[in-house]
DNA sequence: CCCATGTAGTCAAGCTGCTTGACCAAATAG
DNA sequence: CTATTTGGTCAAGCAGCTTGACTACATGGG
């Protein structure tokens, strides 16, 4: 289906842009994690739910991101068992790079389309998409 | 991105429909393979190119599909090295089931949208999607 | 006609990202 | 104060892919 092709092209394009900006050790999956971590941080379990994987998988991804310097594990303010994962400066820089890359990919597309048809596409897609479903690994 | 959510929902929906029709041992990736095999069959290498994986990976997927009875390995009519992978009766039945499932998922969506806006969405997506790119494994 | 190079396919080994299962420590309910 | 739930980790295993090496057939130039 061409919906899939478009989605792939989009993800590839953004990933390409992120790498071009110097973050060569990032995969698209990391970007999906950043979406959840960006506002106020999250626990491993919350991250796991957001990504649709087990908490072990999320934990080991967190390990990787900590090792690479994008994420910190801080003590949770109210729960001594939990740890709050938050973005480091480098993590935020990468998030900004991803936003830039995304605009870069979408801008010419939105331009060619015009605001009206763009809105049509957006609403059309949002009726099909169930909220929060981001499981790219088939 | 909500484009991804829509793509995921679509794939999941179709896969669900296929399973509901009795083909419980199928993954979405198999469907992508069928797209290439359906018209006249294909060799392992052609399948590999279509899926964007190595020929070894394609070959072992072919093994699986043969084992499950969806695909046959026949001698290639003009090249004694090659083997032509073709769908069996069961393979065609599964293809038909997938088509039905796809319409089932898309029909209410297309209905709600109307032909005009549907066409808009289609053309919009096709400008973004590069041809033949179907690599769902990020 | 024959050899050199290219191509289709398989075998084998290894890696990566995920899973299931078991467990500990802190939180929470009774 | 115990019993259960919840956040997190450790360990082992698996699925789907990769790279590398090899065989059998194809093909083009001498």
Q: Three-class SS of residue A44?
A: helix
| Distance, CA of B20 to C1' of D8, in Å | 37
Highest mean pLDDT among A105-109, A124-128, B45-49, B110-114: B45-49
Q: Assess whether B98 (CB) lies less than 7 A from strand C.
A: no
Q: Which residue has 């998922």 as its token pair?
A: B105
Tokens of B9: 């929902």
Local confidence band at B135 (pLDDT 50, 70, 90 cut-offs): low
**How many domains does chain A fold into?**
1
pLDDT along chain A (138 residues), means of 10: 84 92 93 94 96 96 96 96 97 96 89 81 78 51
pLDDT at B129: 67
The C-alpha atoms of residue B52 and residue A18 are separated, in whole angstroms, by: 22
Whichever domain contains B19, its CATH number is 1.10.10.10
pLDDT at A133: 47
Contact A71, A88 (CB under 8 A): yes
Residue A16 covered by a domain: yes
pLDDT at A66: 96
The angle subtended at Cα B25 by Cα B23 and Cα B27, nearest 5°, is 100
Q: Assess whether A8 (CB) lies less than 7 A from strand C.
A: no
Residue B114 covered by a domain: yes
Q: What residue numbers bound the domain in which B57 lies?
A: 2-128
Residue A122 covered by a domain: yes
């Amino acid at each position: 289906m061409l919906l899939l092709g478009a989605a792939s092209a989009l993800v590839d394009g953004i990933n390409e842009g992120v790498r071009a900006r110097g973050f060569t050790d990032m995969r698209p999956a990391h970007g999906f994690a950043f979406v959840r971590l960006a506002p106020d941080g999250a626990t491993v379990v919350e991250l796991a739910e957001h990504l649709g994987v087990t908490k072990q998988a999320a934990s080991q991804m967190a390990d990787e991101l900590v090792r690479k310097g994008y994420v910190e594990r801080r003590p949770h303010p109210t729960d001594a068992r939990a740890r709050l994962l938050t973005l480091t400066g480098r993590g935020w820089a990468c998030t900004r790079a991803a936003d830039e890359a995304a605009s870069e990919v979408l801008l010419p597309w939105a331009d060619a389309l015009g605001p009206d048809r763009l809105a049509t596409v957006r609403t059309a897609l949002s009726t099909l998409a169930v909220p929060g479903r981001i499981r790219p690994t088939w």
